């Protein structure tokens, strides 16, 4: 049973009258996450102060949660600071030759472009797949594949259009062509089911502060054991080694066999506590249930925008979208400012209004947004 009333009770910002529809940028913290954060801070302040064993247990539990969300083994997950740091592990860890090629697309957020553009210094060439309002066609990918194509990287969900990629089909193509398949998952994970095994993903990077509803400053990577064997680890720290908390004066490089080898030192354990609780919450509700709820409450946006003569660039088909719905309007800037003043929080991206509700948002939240949007549309017409 989807207990929306209970879910809403976890978010105190609702009591202020704020309607928050901006989870594609950053999510508010729930009371459940707040309690986990407070418990950690209390331990650091007046409790054990040095909570080493507690943090190790919390880290292990978080990796188990993430493994369930990904359909992966917890040993294949390592913590990083953010999505970009994770992608740089891949970009700077592979052995590149002059003339090697990477496939990206022309609708990506820069986080999934800049780490690979930086490889041009090694003679690597970037090919950009042409998209249609952020929609990626497999035929366009196939056109650009050459014998020199070594890697394809794309977002699970595009940040602007909200288009959800067909990862299963693309993953199958990459495997057939022996191309590494990398996914930036930050705009889809937590709101749309993910299966790294079925999608044949070699590498995935994701931050925890958007749809996963944790703190900024903590993300994670997933990679296969096969790919790990191919990566030359550019950065190393004392916690990268096996049995790092022993034999301190035996200076060595003895990388752990798991993805923990990419964790180079002390983590943000406050953020680990937060993301541990937020991912536990998402798993309790169920990612598929969350996806179904969001698809249901956003249906009104499509029909209302059409009535108002506005264009939505997000695909209507539920199989091609996750949590983002983006609307074009000639007065988008003015509408965005007025919405903000009315405590209705959305995003302004590339001159468009991006709406991004989560599992606790209601049909009423959407109705209030649409009522104000309709009024502003008439005012600025």
Read out DSSP for 65-82? HHHHHHTS-GGGEEEESS
Q: Rounded CA gap, 138 and 306, in Å? A: 28
What pairs with residue 312 in β-bridges?
A: 327
Whether 301 contacts 371, CB under 8 Å: no
Integer-rounded Cα Rg, in Å, for the chain is 22
CATH class of 34-283: alpha beta
Q: Give the Cα separation of 335 and 216 in Å (integer).
A: 28
- Looking at residue 380, what is its pLDDT? 83
Is residue 297 within 8 A of residue 316, CB to CB? The reply is no
Q: CA torsion, points 33, 39, 45, 51, in degrees to nearest 10?
A: -100
Q: Which CATH class is domain 4-21+286-380?
A: alpha beta
Q: Are 239 and 261 a contacting pair, CB within 8 Å?
A: no
Q: Record the tokens describing residue 91, joined without a space.
A: 């970009």
At 32, the pLDDT band (50, 70, 90 cuts) reads very high
Q: What's the average model confidence in pLDDT over 251-262?
A: 96
Per-residue pLDDT at 52 exceeds 90: no
Classified as helix, coil or strand, 296 is helix
Q: What is the mean pLDDT of residues 198-215?
A: 98
**Per-residue pLDDT at 191 exceeds 80:** yes
Contact 39, 48 (CB under 8 A): no
Q: What is the pLDDT of residues 217-244, one digit of tens each?
A: 999 999 999 999 999 999 999 999 999 9
- Residue 40 backbone dihedrals phi, psi, to 5 degrees: -65, -45
Query: pLDDT tens for residues 114-135?
Result: 999 999 999 999 999 999 988 9
- CATH 3.90.1150.10 range(s) for the chain read 4-21+286-380
User: What integer pLDDT is reported at residue 75 of this predicted model?
Assistant: 98
- Asked whether the beta carbons of 173 and 142 are under 8 A apart, the reply is yes
Q: How far is CA 134 from the centre of its chain?
A: 17
Distance CA 153, CA 117 (A): 12
- Rounded-to-integer distance, Cα 162 and Cα 315, Å: 8
Cα gap 233→244, rounded to integer Å: 17
Give residue-wise pLDDT tens across range 348-377: 999 999 999 999 999 999 999 999 999 999
Q: Are strands 352-355 and 347-349 parallel, antiparallel or unpaired?
A: antiparallel
Whether residue 206 contacts residue 219, with contact meaning beta carbons closer than 8 Å, is answered with yes
Backbone angles phi, psi at 95, to 5 degrees: -90, 110
Compute, in degrees rounded to 10, the torsion defined by CA atoms 174, 175, 178, 181.
Answer: 50
Residue 127 gets which letter from DSSP? E
Note whether 67 and 77 are within 8 A (CB).
yes
List, by residue range, all CATH 3.40.640.10 domains of the chain.
Answer: 34-283
Least Cα distance to 191 among 164, 217, 160 occurs for 164
| Average pLDDT across the chain, whole number | 97
Q: Taking the mean position of all CA atoms in its chain, how far away is CA 84?
A: 11
Residue with tokens 């179904």: 292
Instruction: Flag whether pLDDT at 315 surpasses 80.
Output: yes
Mean pLDDT of 308-326: 96
Average pLDDT estimate for 231-259? 94
pLDDT at 55: 94
* Residue ranges with strand state E in the chain: 19-20, 77-80, 101-105, 125-129, 149-155, 180-184, 203-207, 219-223, 311-312, 325-328, 344-345, 347-349, 352-355
Q: Are 240 and 212 in contact (CB under 8 A)?
A: no
Task: Write out the two tokens for 134.
Answer: 């952020």
């Amino acid at each position: 049973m989807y207990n929306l009333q209970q879910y809403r009770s976890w978010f105190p910002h609702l009591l202020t009258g704020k309607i928050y529809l901006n989870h594609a940028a950053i999510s508010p913290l729930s009371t459940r996450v707040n309690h986990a954060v407070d418990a950690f801070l209390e331990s650091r302040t007046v409790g054990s102060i040095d909570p080493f064993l507690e943090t190790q247990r919390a880290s292990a539990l978080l990796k188990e949660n993430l493994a369930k969300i990904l359909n992966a083994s917890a040993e294949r997950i390592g913590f990083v600071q953010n999505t970009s740091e994770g992608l740089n592990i891949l970009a700077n860890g592979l052995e590149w030759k002059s003339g090697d090629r990477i496939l990206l697309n022309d609708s990506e957020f820069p986080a999934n472009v800049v780490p690979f553009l930086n490889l041009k210094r090694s003679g690597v060439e970037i090919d950009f797949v042409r998209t249609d309002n952020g929609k990626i066609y497999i035929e366009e990918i196939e056109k650009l594949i050459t014998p020199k194509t070594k890697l394809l990287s794309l977002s699970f969900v595009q940040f602007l259009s909200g288009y959800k990629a067909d990862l299963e089909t693309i993953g199958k193509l990459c495997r057939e062509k022996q191309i590494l398949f990398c996914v930036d998952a930050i705009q889809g994970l937590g709101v749309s089911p993910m299966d790294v095994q079925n999608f044949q993903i070699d590498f995935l990077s994701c931050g925890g502060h958007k749809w996963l509803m944790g703190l900024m400053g903590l993300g994670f990577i997933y990679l296969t054991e096969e790919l790990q064997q191919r990566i030359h680890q550019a950065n190393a720290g004392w916690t990268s080694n096996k049995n790092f908390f022993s034999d301190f004066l035996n200076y060595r490089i003895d990388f752990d066999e798991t993805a923990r080898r990419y964790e180079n030192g002390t983590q943000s354990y406050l953020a680990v506590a937060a993301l541990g609780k937020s991912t536990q919450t998402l798993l309790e509700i169920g990612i598929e249930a969350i996806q179904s709820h969001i698809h249901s409450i956003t249906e009104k946006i499509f029909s209302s925008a059409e009535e108002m003569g506005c264009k939505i660039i997000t695909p209507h088909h539920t199989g091609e979208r996750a949590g983002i719905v983006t609307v074009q309007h000639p007065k988008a800037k003015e509408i965005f400012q007025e919405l903000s003043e009315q405590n209705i929080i959305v995003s302004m991206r590339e001159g468009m209004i991006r709406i991004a509700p989560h599992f606790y948002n209601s049909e009423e939240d959407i109705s209030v947004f649409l009522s104000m949007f309709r009024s502003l549309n008439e005012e600025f017409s």
